[in-house]
Amino acid sequence: MTEHDIEITVNGTDHEMTVDSRTLLVHALRDQLGYTGPNVGCESSMCGACTIHLDGEAVKSCTVLAVQADGSDVTTVGDFADRDSLHPIQESFSEEHGLQCGYCTPGMIMTTSELLERNPDPNEEEIREALEGNLCRCTGYQNIVKAVESAAEKMRTTATAEGDD
Amino acid sequence: MSGDTTNGLIGDRVTRTEDAEFVTGQAEYTDDIATSNAAHAAVLRSQHAHAKVHDIDTSAAEELDGVIAVYTAEDMEEAETSAPRKIPSMSTDYIQVEPELFRPVIASDRVHYQGEPLAIALAEDRYTANDAVDRIEVDYERLESVTDPEAAIEDDAPTLFEDYPNNIAYDWEFGDKDEVDEAFEDAEYVASASVDEQRLIPDPLEPRATVADYDSSSNELSIQMSTQTPHSDRHAIAGILRHPENKIHVQVPRVGGGFGAKIHNYDVESLVPWCARELERPVRWQATRSEIHQTSSHGRGLNLEGEAAFDEDGKLLGVRVDGLADLGGYVSSHVHMLTTVLCIEVINSQYELPKLYSRIRGALTNATCLDSYRGVHEVAAITFIERLMHESAKEIGMDPAELRRRNQIPADAFPYETVTGTVYDSGNYQQALEKTLDVLEYDELRERQEELREDGRYLGIGLSAYTHVSGVGPADVCKEYGIFKTHWESGRITVHQSGTVTAYCGTMDFGMGHQTSYAQIVADKLGIPIEDVEIIEGDTRHLNDGVGTHASRSLVVGGSALAESADDVIEKGRSIVAHQLEAPEEDIEFEDGEFWVKGAPERSMTIQEVGSQAHRAWDVPGEPGLEATTYYLPEQMAITSGVHAAVVEVDPDTGEVEFERYLSVDDAGNRINPQIVEGQLHGGIAQGISQALYEDVVYDDNGNMVTSTLQDYAMPKSFHVPEVETVELSTPAPDNPLGAKGVGETGPIAGNAAVLNAVVDALEPLGFDGSEVDTPLTPEKIWKGVNDQD
Ligand code: FES
Ligand code: FES
């Protein structure tokens, strides 16, 4: 097995590590670096529980090899956690009861955050479409959709308020 | 019965207090646990569905760098520590399950389904463990296999166990056949229906996972695992591994869903601790999704077909039903109860049914073991009777709502003993039906349906009236059913010296928000801020014993245990206050966290002060400390009920089903946290809809599972399920102190039939045969049902 030395930045912290060619990014993050935010639900790109941002784009970290992420910037759901208060997306998932067991939640939040960056005012259909790659077995998606709507609204209000300054 | 409820938290839509942990990614699931020096386990699973195993050669695997050990059943027999026993299924008075039919923890010379474990490899990392598994050579002699239960009981079918030549593990009857046949002879109308339940995979998003460690100096085995029933696991693993129960510590991190699939004692969950004990080092394992699909228990898989007899007014005279369950390769722990007594206990749903005869057989097949999945086989029972009511209405020429109305148990008939002997405690079925029709604007809807049909559009309205047995617990019922541990629950409350509170419960949350709803109960009763209450579950060291979370029981039974413990704490506090304020106990009032002397409100103590005094114990009348433990045993079951309605439009050219509306009208008694209740309904209904339309476990002719990944198995995605409207009704349960009824499983119980009835209703003018629907009703099946009816 060939080994590679790689460098990745996770949630703002630089890491140097050695990985096998076949090591999946999600395992490198979880097993080697201890970032357990992204969860493993299928290892086959179907469930979305492992979704992270790779250089700003939402990707399923079980479909990326760690070596492919060499030199990249990774953000996990944990990055929101370092702040003093919850991010509006996190807050809305909680307020709208958009999670039950929480296993899908890190992935849902990362996908939502990318969606809202692209489209700050999505309608229900657009939300459901954007979440297509993220499975949730607990909620029937109803309150997840509501959470995304509510987060979008909060973020728009903040953006407008900031724009007013 | 209501006890002291003070600050109004009970019934509030309190935002879940546990959420911050989840939305920040800090929640710790089993596979998130950091271990040092752990061996990673991977399991070699049978590639064939039915085979003799002549030899397993592990030498190439063992030679691989980084491999610590590889064990087969033979190695385990030869090891110093005792080899694991089979996983027991409980025999009952009505069904004997011989040990021959128990699932082995590891197969030795014969496999009965694809995926059965044959060896476990341990390595320094996950990847190497999988490499090791790939290098194990197995010499199989393939045998003919059968995965279809109907085919399995034919004379020429391959046999799984020599002593069961027809593959029939049990043949169970209820009721007097002749008497019921007589009712049919007198009938004015007879209609039939069948429910051909496909197998489903419960598929919680977190796969099963276990981390175990062993300390030889204390002989202590510590196991962290993803389970719904930590105490039962401790007991089962003690038996399987022949390890003292008091030397096993089970601790459960966050659990990423369960839905009934994490109740049973599984093979690998005993193999991993066995390996830890043998190697004296930590061992960890998390299943892959394919392992889950192939080996975690499947749900449903019960076919019911039968008939109903009615008199000239459309009143039910009797029902006869014949059932066949697809058990899989062995008899899993609960499946024989679930598919028989626990199925027919609600087969009359909300109706006065005078006579019932049923026969249910269990067929062994070369498929994954069948067991519980949210709603268990009440889903088959309710789907059967609700499909039958729909078909009967057609036969009689009556509106399906009217037929239900005529047969509903009257609201003044409770407690009502049904034909199966189940006691329905309370309810108001008429109210639920009328409310549903009202919200739907049923008559107008039927008119619109007619109009649309004229334009070639097919709208369908499906009703599903259900009952659901929650809070199973009365000892006599559990004994009769053969449940090996009566469904009591334990709850302990400790008021600390500082006045904060820790409450422990023997249930195990896997997404239903116990940390919040239990804290609401405790804080409300004790009159303290909710932030001051900590809820602890899932640790066999914290609480001596418990039953766990399943059967829609946590809130009803576990919540009641906590409510009663809170009452006991208040009583104990009252005696301390009476003593310290020198007043008679009966003069001490309590409300909102404060005790005071009747007529002298200035003579008072807060519960926090009482906690402090109780611990300081300079001057208390009885024993120090302020805590109480309750083992709550229900005297009556809490029967949840309601009516669900689906309104769909079906396109006969494509077979596509589109939802116009889904309405869920439910009487869950008093709701402690309505937001959480609604969340349970949404998720459960999605699973019911999915049973009707999407999910299906498929095996090929050789018993290979075709749906072993999420690519092939249709777990619903965000755009597959409609928005659900919920309407709350309440007839409080008379037996438990909260007046609560369990709601966790009602979604699939009611949902499947509502959707099936709606689709059949839509297609009625097109000649679609509703009496035998083959679920899931995929577009292809619908299209065929409409377009080639030969
Ligand atoms: S674990 Fe990556 S998509 Fe499921
Ligand atoms: S909350 Fe459990 S999978 Fe989404």
Domain range summary for chain B, segments of one domain joined by +: 19-27+488-632, 33-143+205-257+262-295, 378-474+636-786
Atom nearest to A62 CA in ligand 1: 2
Handedness of CA A89, A91, A94, A96 (dihedral sign): negative
Q: Is the pTM of this model over 0.95?
A: yes
For the segment A93-109, what is each residue's pLDDT rounded down to a tens digit?
A: 999 999 999 999 999 99
Q: What is the pLDDT of residue B2?
A: 39
pLDDT at B422 over 70: yes
* Percent of residues, chain B, with pLDDT higher than 70: 99
For the segment B68-124, what is each residue's pLDDT rounded down to a tens digit?
A: 999 999 999 999 889 999 999 988 889 999 999 999 999 999 999 999 999 999 999
Task: Assign A82 a pLDDT band (cuts: 50, 70, 90).
Answer: low
Domain A3-80, CATH 3.10.20.30 — does that match? yes
With beta carbons less than 8 A apart as the criterion, state whether A35 and A11 touch: yes
Closest CA to B773 of B755, B790, B787: B755
Q: Write the residue in B679, B710, B718 that is nearest to A100 by C-beta.
A: B679
Task: Assign A164 a pLDDT band (cuts: 50, 70, 90).
Answer: low
Ligand 1 and A106: CB distance under 6 A? no
A83-160 has which CATH code? 1.10.150.120
Beta strand ranges found along B314-370 (DSSP E): 316-328, 356-364
pLDDT at B739 over 80: yes
Where do the structural domains in chain A lie, given as residue ranges?
A: 3-80, 83-160
For residue A62, the CA-to-ligand 2 centroid distance in Å is 18
Q: What is the pLDDT of residue B479?
A: 84
pLDDT at B23 over 70: yes
- Helices A142-164 & B674-693 angle (0-180, nearest 10): 120
Ligand 2 and A42: CB distance under 6 A? no
Q: What is the pLDDT of residue A160?
A: 84
Task: Assign B472 a pLDDT band (cuts: 50, 70, 90).
Answer: confident
Over residues B264-292, the mean pLDDT reads 97
Over residues B211-239, the mean pLDDT reads 97
The preferred substitution site among A30, A46, A76, A108 for testing ligand 1, maximizing ligand atoms within 8 Å of CB, is: A46
Distance CA A55, CA A61 (A): 12
Q: How many residues does chain A have?
A: 165
Residues of A (4-63) whose Cβ lies below 8 Å from B: 20, 22-23, 27, 30-31, 34, 36-44, 46-47, 49
Over residues A59-67, the mean pLDDT reads 98
pLDDT at B469 over 90: yes
- Cβ–Cβ gap A43/B723 under 8 Å: no
Q: What is the pLDDT of residue B478?
A: 84
Fold: same for B19-27+488-632 and B378-474+636-786? yes
With beta carbons less than 8 A apart as the criterion, state whether B520 and B566 touch: no
Over residues B356-369, the mean pLDDT reads 98
For residue A59, the CA-to-ligand 1 centroid distance in Å is 10
Over residues B147-161, the mean pLDDT reads 98
Distance CA B341, CA B356 (A): 13
Task: Assign A61 a pLDDT band (cuts: 50, 70, 90).
Answer: very high
For residue A98, the CA-to-ligand 2 centroid distance in Å is 9
Query: For chain A, how big is the Rg over CA atoms in Å?
Result: 16
Q: What is the pLDDT of residue B1?
A: 35
With beta carbons less than 8 A apart as the criterion, state whether B437 and B401 touch: yes
Ligand 1 and A81: CB distance under 6 A? no
Q: What is the pLDDT of residue B254?
A: 98
* Burial label, A10 (beta-carbon count in 10 A; 0-12, 13-18, 19+): buried
B454 CA: distance to closest CA in chain A (Å): 30
Report helix, strand or coil for B542.
coil
* Burial label, B196 (beta-carbon count in 10 A; 0-12, 13-18, 19+): middle
For the segment B505-557, what is each residue's pLDDT rounded down to a tens digit?
A: 999 999 999 999 999 999 999 999 999 999 999 999 999 899 999 989 999 99
Domain range B19-27+488-632, CATH architecture: 2-Layer Sandwich (3.30)
Q: Which residues contact B152 (CB under 8 A, 6 or more apart)?
A: B146, B167, B326, B363, B364, B365
Q: How many CB atoms lie within 10 A of CB B224?
A: 26
The preferred substitution site among A47, A54, A76, A77 for testing ligand 1, maximizing ligand atoms within 8 Å of CB, is: A47
B146 CA: distance to closest CA in chain A (Å): 28
pLDDT at A88 over 80: yes
Over residues B637-657, the mean pLDDT reads 97
Q: Which residues contact B768 (CB under 8 A, 6 or more apart)?
A: B760, B782, B785, B786
- Report the mean per-residue pLDDT for chain B: 96
For domain B33-143+205-257+262-295, give the fold: Aldehyde Oxidoreductase; domain 3 (3.90.1170)
B378-474+636-786 has which CATH code? 3.30.365.10
Q: What is the pLDDT of residue B3?
A: 41
Ligand 1 and A147: CB distance under 6 A? no
Q: What is the pLDDT of residue B789?
A: 59
Q: Is A3 within 8 Å of chain B by CB?
A: no
pLDDT at A165 over 70: no
pLDDT at B4 over 50: no
Closest CA to B681 of B716, B714, B643: B643
